[in-house]
């Protein structure tokens, strides 16, 4: 085992103002899942994403996806199209509402939902079931915007509502527009390792003000307007605490700095590894794409590099450096393998050969050199 200090994949990074907002919550006794920090955090997110959006802060990104599916009328037996190459949280809420996930493969430019297989899936579902899937969930994985023009065009052609999973993509831009502002709904996540954190938390971005009102209602146990506890809907306990929202307000002050730092780390890795055979990066495929570069991801061609993804991951681990294979596609997961999948194996190949490198803002030049040094050593060892 290496005696050198651990280099983590992705760490939370506080900006300095978080404690001030938390202290305010304590001083005013707003230690509950509502209050001035929750309202303030929602306003900050709205100010960032656009005044035409309506934001509800929730306990997680997963909760946001769940409440969106409920409001989109998805229920037992409905079909929902989901990008296969993602974290399981994108797909689990489809099962919470009793619906059937239909998995669609990625395309090689963005690693996100392939418009070609998306359309193929829709046509085949219509042929098989007589109706189109109700909702589609494209994901902006690792912060890379999906090809939203093509995806929205297909969604409109078949009348399918879009729920964007922007959990990893706060601050990413596609054709001048923020990820999370294309769909009828979008989820954001502020889990510990995301681009900003509230220790745990999320938000639902709604395009209609009415939907934000319903989201808040459902997220607070669906209490009817009565002096006693009266319920005519099933409710959830999904609001964000006023303490966590205080962290979020502090984090919003440094969001742009975090994005700049992650992009700079990505740029440095690319420079340092540009002459390394068999290593390629997830890169903006053109000027329309401005990823927040949440995590720097590489693909290893074992024939050209002389080592495999797993060889490299183990060497990193022995050197006390945390790396992680890319997301294992949902259609290959034991819980989801029985559901339909449309694709050609692109996501599976990415999973087999891809690795996330340490990417958080606190990494020093020395840390990056240690990471790159392991790659160089793996190459020379061949
Ligand atoms: C983190 C994440 C989520 C879920 O967010 P939580 O806040 O952890 O519930 C959903 N989708 C993707 C792609 C994620 O990375």
Whether residue 128 lies inside any domain: the answer is yes
What pLDDT sits at residue 144?
98
Rounded CA separation 97/100 (Å): 9
Whether residue 4 lies inside any domain: the answer is no
Rounded CA separation 271/339 (Å): 41
Question: Separation of 156 CA from ligand 1 center, angstroms?
Answer: 26
Atom of ligand 1 nearest to the CA of 193: 1
Atom of ligand 1 nearest to the CA of 189: 7
Total structural domains within the chain: 2
Question: Separation of 66 CA from ligand 1 center, angstroms?
Answer: 12
Residue list, ligand 1 pocket, CB within 6 Å? 60-62, 86-87, 89-90, 139, 165, 167-168, 189, 191, 202
- Which tens digits make up the pLDDT trace of 39-58? 999 999 999 999 999 999 99
Q: Is the pLDDT of residue 173 over 60?
A: yes
- Are 294 and 222 in the same domain? no
- Are 220 and 280 in the same domain? no
pLDDT-based confidence at residue 1 (cuts at 50, 70, 90): low
pLDDT-based confidence at residue 382 (cuts at 50, 70, 90): low
CATH number at residue 296: 3.90.1150.10
The full DSSP string for 234-256 is: ---B-BPPHHHHHHHHHHHTTHH
Question: Separation of 189 CA from ligand 1 center, angstroms?
Answer: 6
Could you tell me which of 350, 296, 269, 287 has the C-alpha nearest to residue 142?
A: 296
- Are 224 and 183 in the same domain? yes
- Are 177 and 313 in the same domain? no
Whether residue 30 lies inside any domain: the answer is yes
Mean pLDDT of 137-148: 98
pLDDT-based confidence at residue 11 (cuts at 50, 70, 90): confident
pTM of the model: 0.96
- Which tens digits make up the pLDDT trace of 337-361? 999 999 999 999 999 999 999 999 9
- Are 247 and 271 in the same domain? no
Rounded CA separation 350/300 (Å): 9
Q: Is the pLDDT of residue 12 over 70?
A: yes
- Are 360 and 239 in the same domain? no
What pLDDT sits at residue 73?
98
Whether residue 13 lies inside any domain: the answer is no
Q: Is the pLDDT of residue 379 over 80?
A: no
CATH number at residue 142: 3.40.640.10
What is the bridge-based pairing of β-strands 279-281 and 289-290?
unpaired
Three-state secondary-structure class, residue 64:
helix
The answer to whether residues 47 and 252 touch, using CB atoms and an 8 Å cutoff, is no
Mean pLDDT of 231-243: 95
- Are 267 and 141 in the same domain? no
> 357 lies in which domain range?
255-381
Q: Is the pLDDT of residue 370 over 70?
A: yes
Domain boundary among 196, 225, 252: 252
Atom of ligand 1 nearest to the CA of 190: 7
Bridge partners (DSSP) listed for residue 55: 205
What is the bridge-based pairing of β-strands 173-174 and 177-178?
antiparallel
Three-state secondary-structure class, residue 205:
strand
Question: Separation of 232 CA from ligand 1 center, angstroms?
Answer: 30
Phi and psi (nearest 5°) for 291?
A: -65, 145
Question: Separation of 40 CA from ligand 1 center, angstroms?
Answer: 22
Rounded CA separation 35/86 (Å): 33
Whether residue 81 lies inside any domain: the answer is yes
* Average pLDDT for the chain: 95
- Which tens digits make up the pLDDT trace of 274-298? 989 999 999 999 999 999 999 999 9
């Amino acid at each position: 085992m290496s005696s050198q200090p651990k280099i983590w994949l992705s760490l939370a990074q506080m900006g300095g103002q978080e404690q001030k907002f938390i202290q305010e919550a304590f001083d005013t006794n707003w230690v509950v899942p509502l209050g001035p920090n929750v309202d303030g955090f929602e306003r900050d997110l709205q100010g960032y994403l656009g005044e035409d959006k309506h934001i509800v802060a929730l306990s997680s990104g997963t909760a946001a996806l769940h409440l969106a599916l409920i409001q989109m009328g998805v229920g037992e037996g409905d079909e929902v199209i989901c990008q296969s190459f993602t974290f399981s949280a994108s797909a689990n809420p489809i099962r919470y509402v009793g619906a059937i996930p239909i998995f669609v493969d990625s395309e090689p430019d963005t690693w996100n939902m392939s418009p070609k297989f998306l359309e193929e899936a829709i046509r085949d579902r219509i042929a098989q079931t007589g109706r189109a899937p109700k909702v589609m969930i494209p994901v902006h994985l690792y912060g890379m915007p999906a090809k939203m023009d093509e995806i929205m065009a297909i969604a409109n052609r078949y009348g399918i509502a879009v729920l964007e999973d922007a959990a990893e993509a706060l601050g990413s831009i596609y054709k001048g527009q923020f990820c999370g502002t294309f769909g009828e709904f979008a989820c954001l996540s502020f889990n510990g390792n995301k681009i900003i954190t509230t220790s745990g938390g999320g938000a639902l971005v709604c395009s209609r003000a009415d939907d934000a009102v319903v989201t808040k209602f459902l997220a607070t146990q669906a209490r009817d307007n009565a002096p006693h506890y009266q319920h005519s809907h099933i409710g959830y306990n999904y609001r964000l605490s006023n303490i966590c929202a205080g962290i979020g307000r502090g984090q919003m002050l440094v969001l742009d700095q975090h994005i700049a730092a992650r992009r700079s780390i990505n740029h440095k890795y690319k420079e340092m590894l540009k002459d390394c055979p068999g290593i390629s990066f997830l890169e903006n495929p053109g000027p329309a794409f401005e990823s927040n570069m949440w995590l720097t991801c590489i693909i290893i061609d074992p024939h050209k590099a002389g080592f495999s993804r797993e060889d490299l991951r183990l060497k990193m681990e022995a050197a006390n450096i945390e790396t992680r294979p890319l997301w294992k596609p949902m259609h290959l997961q034991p819980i989801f393998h029985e559901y339909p999948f449309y694709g050609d194996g692109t996501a599976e190949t990415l999973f087999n050969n891809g690795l996330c490198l340490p990417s958080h803002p606190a990494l020093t030049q020395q840390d990056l050199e240690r990471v790159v040094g392991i790659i160089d050593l793996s190459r020379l060892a061949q």
